[in-house]
Amino acid sequence: AYWFFAAPVRSGTTGSPLAVPGEAQLLGYVVVAWRKAPLAQLRSWLFGLNGSIALVLAVGIFMALHAFLHRLTEPLNSLAGVMQRMQAGETHVRASVAGPAEIRDIGQVFNRLMEQLEQHRIVLESAVTIRTQELREARDAALTATRYKSEFMAAMTHEMRTPLQSIIGYIQTSRKELRFLKEDVDPETFDNLTDYLRVALKASDELLLRINQVLELAALEAGKREVVLAPVDLAVLLDQIISIVKPLAESNRNRLDVIRQGLPRVEMDEDKLRQIVRNLLDNACKFTHDGAVRLQVRGTTDMLLIEVV
């Protein structure tokens, strides 16, 4: 393929100093033929060159942007990772102060904040340690005081109960012996002595009950309450309890009825059983006036039933 360029050629010497004036004549045409292939090759080469330059520029710009963004985001990612570690519970982490000025400022502020938090944590741990030690010492002192109090109460009530039981025994013996002297003593004097002994026995029983309750409370506080199993004769135990409670029932004009059905020999804690039955009867006789209190005890092969009505 070619390009053709044509131009007329005329005779004339207008541009020459030797030219003779006259009309110019057309001599012919000049035709120039130019092949298109070299121009197409040049155009292809220019397109390739421009594309290569554009590609190189694009790659360069991309790499520059990547480096810039990496330099900008890497400190942020590092700071975010440090914050996540702090959120997970690590208290000794510090941010790396690097990157742009703004990122460095954020890292410095974060590090100062972490240092302040660390100082507050140390102060709080010291305060908690001191407070815990004070509470532990106060608790130990309270436990020691409670133990001493319980031991003192147990010892005192035990020492008081022993002579009081002797006094109750002597009063009961005196009441029994006084019956044999009824014929030899003035009736009014006999009645007065009987009333005196009854009042003394009632007061002694009441005091013994309170002492037993204090002793039981002291044993509970001291952690020394134990169940001592031993064979118990229920008939003898009931006779002892009735002899103690009967004056209280009579003072309130109550009738004390005891029903026993098949009392077996059992194995249990005699003191605690005595205290339970005694408390039930005392309350029944104390809060009942001009009535009747019934104690019913029934025993089977595998059960002991005690009712106070």
Is 107 exposed, middle or buried (CB count within 10 Å of its CB: 0-12, 13-18, 19+)?
buried
Q: Assess whether pLDDT exceeds 90 at residue 122.
A: no
> What are the φ/ψ torsions at residue 228 (nearest 5 degrees)?
-105, 110
pLDDT band for 62, please (50, 70, 90 cuts).
Answer: very high
- Minimal CA–CA distance to 98: which of 86, 110, 88, 87? 110
CA-CA-CA-CA torsion sign (175, 177, 179, 181): negative
pLDDT at 22: 58
- pLDDT: which is higher, 287 or 94: 287
- pLDDT: which is higher, 78 or 135: 135
Q: pLDDT digits over 218-277, tens only? A: 766 666 666 778 888 888 888 888 888 887 888 888 888 988 887 777 888 887 888 888
pLDDT at 54: 93
Is the whole model's pTM more than 0.95, yes or no? no
**Mean pLDDT within 3-8:** 83
